[in-house]
């Protein structure tokens, strides 16, 4: 399988992506012809970069800082001629261009956003809110657009849709629907883009001038991020840059694109040269979130169903083959792992303490004397023990309140058993060992299992006898010591059904790890060692545990010395957690998940890794590998393991990415089939995958 192909799977447009560009063109005060040339330069660059939509700053045709020149007939006539030049050029340019210009209508001048494509002006949207405070005097020159509904404007002999009730959509590209607002509009308590989004716009474009002052860049980020999140949309912003008049103000040319509160890309600022900033917006992600967020639908109803009154202007989206197969957006390889470098410790602290606080409250509510925990020397029980230790510390209780038991079975290695003992000793809990092998042999003998007669049969029954005995011992110990069993199973195992149902590791009195996937547990343990959450002795054994192969250790080591590997059976946890996040949080189709996974994992040298991630653990996967494990994931998640999740003990939700409690994020029948998901994936993938 090569990384380039003509198959539709590899075209981002197949999956609902729209490439948006923010442009900071060359501009010179009142130089309309020069400004038009600068706009065209960036338009052509955007076309070569595969953009579908290119956004320019406010009043970019005339320039913004003109003061009373906005009311000069010669300038306004030059602007109209410049628009005609852009319309003519648009016949040979693929992207839709959104530019700013002062336009005359019925004896008034409006500060407008214009959409141009395919040899026509698609529509003009007037600015609703005109700043007239501090350094701004826009009401001196412009009329506001509030109330301009259902109108048209004459422009170079053509009648063009005009008003604040316009949406622009590409019918052959479902989800590619955009709206426009101008600068101050997003500073308003009720931005016009809110109604536009409620009417159906997935992408909102803001043409801005916005002079720069200290701290204003942060303010713009705050507003764009908030509006993209609140209006459940992508929000692109382009501010005027170098070349505007500096008589009394300065300009930084800031461009940015947000999607559902996530920053996709931002420009550098104060550049002397024109700049183009590109990102691929996921319209399916936006529409999927709207479907799940009933508040959005309720808001549309409360606003009087704007979709019934907004006019929709249709245009032909670019249809030529995409110039490359890159996806221009950050894709988190580990979507459950905190990735904000400047707030990394804060995010990890929060994730860890969600569990600590939840367990603390449950322990207080039970009025028990002990927390009972099986300690295997693996990741999950280690993390659960760390959480329990912090509970004891916060309550001022001795850590011997935790009773830890290591219970070696037929496949337990000396390494994990040793790590279990080192961990219990380092954390200072009450520690004991119970060898379950005699009881397991007796049970296997009682049920007539071939292993009891010396045959090397290591089937599911052989494994579940051991897993069940461990849980049985823990529950009886909880009764004996007036405590409760602390569950160690994690979110990834629940997704895949990789747990023994009932009398097994699926059951406990409180499932403290149920909202935490394997990749986050690995990272939180590393974070605990880096930030000295415990002492050096504990840190040393934690590092050893994180570096150990993930294994249930229920089957004896083979003649080749290889231990039982979980990931060989169910797939790499880093891929499974990726699949899980995009399936439960966004409800994305399997082919969409595969497309994102291919871009995230195909090249270990591209993209960002979590801070402090070990070099040796930076893996990459080709599309056939991704497709193989995604099929396995879909089969296990949709058709196999729901009955285990339906009987899930209580446990806290930790990540906004979702949880699988039947009382919370995820509700599904236990007897569904995976057919629709598997068929969608197989139908969309290229044959070689």
Give every CB contact of residue 301 below 8 A, 6+ residues apart in sequence: none
DSSP 8-state class, residue 243: T
58 is catalytic: yes
Side-chain-side CA neighbours of 549 within 13 Å: the count stands at: 14
Could you tell me the two tokens for 614? 């070990």
Q: What's the CA gap between 611 and 340, in Å, rounded?
A: 9
233 is catalytic: no
Q: For tokens 């701290």, what's the residue?
A: 215
Pick the closest to residue 388 from 424, 420, 418 (CA basis). Answer: 424
Catalytic residue among 42, 45, 58, 392: 58
Q: Give the SS3 label for residue 650.
A: coil
Going by their DSSP bridges, the two strands 370-374 and 483-487 should be labelled as parallel
Distance (Å, whole) CA 64 – CA 211:
10
Closest-CA residue to 324 (of 292, 280, 284, 288)? 280
Sign of CA dihedral 61, 123, 117, 319: positive
Rg, C-alpha atoms of the chain:
30
Which residue in 127, 390, 417, 653 is the catalytic one?
Answer: 127
**Separation between Cα atoms, residue 278 and residue 54, nearest integer Å:** 9
Distances in Å between the alpha carbon of 674 and those of 43, 178, 371, 583, 598?
45, 35, 38, 13, 22
Phi and psi at 282, nearest 5°, equal -95, 95
Report DSSP letters for 303-348, one per residue. Answer: TT-GGGTSEEEE-PPP-SPPS-----S---SSTTS---GGGHHHHH
Which segments within 106-150 are labelled E, that is strand?
108-117, 120-126
Q: Count the helices and strands in the chain (H runs, E runs).
A: 20, 20
Q: Which of helix, strand or coil describes residue 297?
A: helix
Instruction: Using CB atoms within 10 Å of the CB of residue 341, give its burial: 0 to 12 exposed, 13 to 18 middle, 19+ buried.
Output: exposed
First to last CA, the chain: 7
**DSSP state letter for 648:** P
Does 183 qualify as catalytic in the annotation?
Answer: yes
Helix ranges restricted to H, 153-265: 192-199, 216-230
Catalytic residue among 112, 148, 183, 348: 183
**235: phi then psi, degrees, rounded to nearest 5:** -130, 115
Residues β-bridged to residue 116: 97, 121
Please give the Cα distance from 238 to 627 (Å, whole number): 39
Rounded to an integer, what distance in angstroms lies between the CA atom of residue 499 and that of residue 496?
Answer: 8
Q: What positions carry a catalytic annotation?
A: 58, 127, 183
């Amino acid at each position: 399988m090569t990384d380039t192909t003509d198959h539709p799977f590899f075209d981002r447009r197949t999956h609902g992506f729209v490439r948006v560009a923010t442009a900071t063109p060359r501009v010179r005060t009142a130089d309309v012809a020069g400004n038009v040339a600068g706009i065209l330069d960036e338009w052509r660059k955007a076309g070569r970069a595969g953009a579908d939509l290119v956004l320019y700053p406010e009043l970019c045709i005339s320039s913004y800082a003109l003061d009373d020149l906005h009311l000069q007939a010669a300038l306004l006539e030059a602007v109209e001629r410049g628009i005609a030049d852009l319309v003519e050029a648009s016949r040979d340019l693929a992207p839709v261009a959104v530019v700013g210009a002062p336009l005359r209508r019925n004896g008034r001048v409006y500060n407008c956003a214009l959409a141009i494509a395919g040899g026509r002006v698609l529509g003009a949207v007037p600015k609703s809110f005109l700043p007239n405070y501090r350094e701004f005097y826009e009401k001196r020159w412009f009329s506001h657009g509030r109330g301009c509904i259902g109108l048209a404007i004459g422009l170079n002999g053509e009648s063009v849709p005009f008003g604040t009730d316009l949406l622009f959509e590409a019918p052959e590209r479902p989800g590619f629907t955009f709206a426009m607002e101008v600068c101050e509009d997003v500073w308003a308590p009720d931005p016009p883009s809110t109604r536009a989004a409620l009417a159906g716009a997935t992408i909102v474009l803001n043409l801005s001038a916005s002079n720069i002052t200290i701290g204003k860049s942060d303010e713009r980020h705050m507003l764009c991020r908030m509006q993209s999140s609140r209006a459940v949309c992508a929000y692109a912003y382009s501010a005027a840059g170098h070349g505007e008049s500096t008589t009394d103000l300065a300009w930084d040319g800031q461009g940015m694109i947000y999607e559902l509160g996530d920053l996709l890309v931002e420009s550098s600022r104060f550049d002397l040269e024109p700049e183009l900033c590109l990102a691929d917006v996921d319209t399916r992600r936006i529409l999927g979130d709207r479907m799940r967020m009933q508040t959005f639908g309720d808001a549309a109803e409360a606003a009087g169903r704007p979709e019934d009154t907004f006019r929709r202007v249709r245009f032909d989206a670019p249809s030529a083959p995409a110039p490359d197969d890159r996806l221009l957006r950050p894709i988190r390889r580990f979507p459950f792992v905190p990735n904000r470098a400047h707030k990394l410790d804060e995010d990890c602290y929060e994730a860890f303490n969600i569990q600590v606080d939840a367990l603390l409250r449950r322990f207080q509510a039970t009025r028990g004397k002990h927390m009972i925990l099986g300690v295997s020397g693996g990741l999950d029980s280690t993390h659960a023990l760390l959480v329990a230790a912090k509970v004891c510390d916060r309550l001022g209780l001795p850590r011997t309140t935790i009773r830890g038991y290591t219970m070696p079975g037929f496949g337990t290695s000396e390494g994990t058993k040793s790590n279990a003992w080192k961990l219990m000793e380092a954390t200072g809990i009450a520690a004991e060992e119970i060898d379950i092998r005699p009881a397991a042999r007796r049970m296997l003998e009682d049920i007539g299992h071939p292993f009891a007669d010396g045959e090397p049969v290591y089937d599911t029954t052989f494994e579940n006898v051991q897993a069940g005995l461990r849980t049985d011992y823990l529950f009886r110990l909880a009764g004996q010591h007036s405590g409760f069993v602390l569950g160690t199973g994690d979110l990834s195992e629940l997704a895949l059904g990789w747990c023994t149902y009932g009398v097994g590791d699926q059951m406990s009195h409180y499932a403290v790890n149920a909202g935490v996937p394997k990749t986050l547990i690995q990272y939180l343990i590393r974070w605990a060692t880096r930030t000295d959450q415990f002492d050096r002795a504990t840190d040393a054994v934690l590092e050893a545990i994180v570096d150990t192969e993930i294994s249930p250790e229920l089957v004896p080591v083979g003649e080749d010395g290889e231990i039982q590997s979980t990931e060989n059976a169910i797939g790499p946890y880093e891929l499974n957690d990726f699949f899980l996040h995009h399936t439960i949080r966004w409800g994305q189709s399997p082919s969409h998940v595969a497309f994102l996974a291919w871009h995230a994992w195909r090249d270990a040298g591209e993209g960002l890794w979590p801070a402090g991630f070990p070099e040796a653990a930076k893996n990459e996967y080709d599309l056939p590998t991704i497709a193989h494990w995604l099929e396995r994931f879909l089969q296990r998640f949709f058709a196999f393991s729901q009955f285990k999740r339906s009987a899930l003990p209580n446990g806290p939700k930790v990540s906004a990415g979702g949880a699988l409690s039947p009382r919370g994020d995820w509700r599904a029948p236990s007897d569904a089939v995976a057919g629709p998901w598997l068929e969608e994936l197989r139908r969309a993938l290229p044959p070689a995958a």
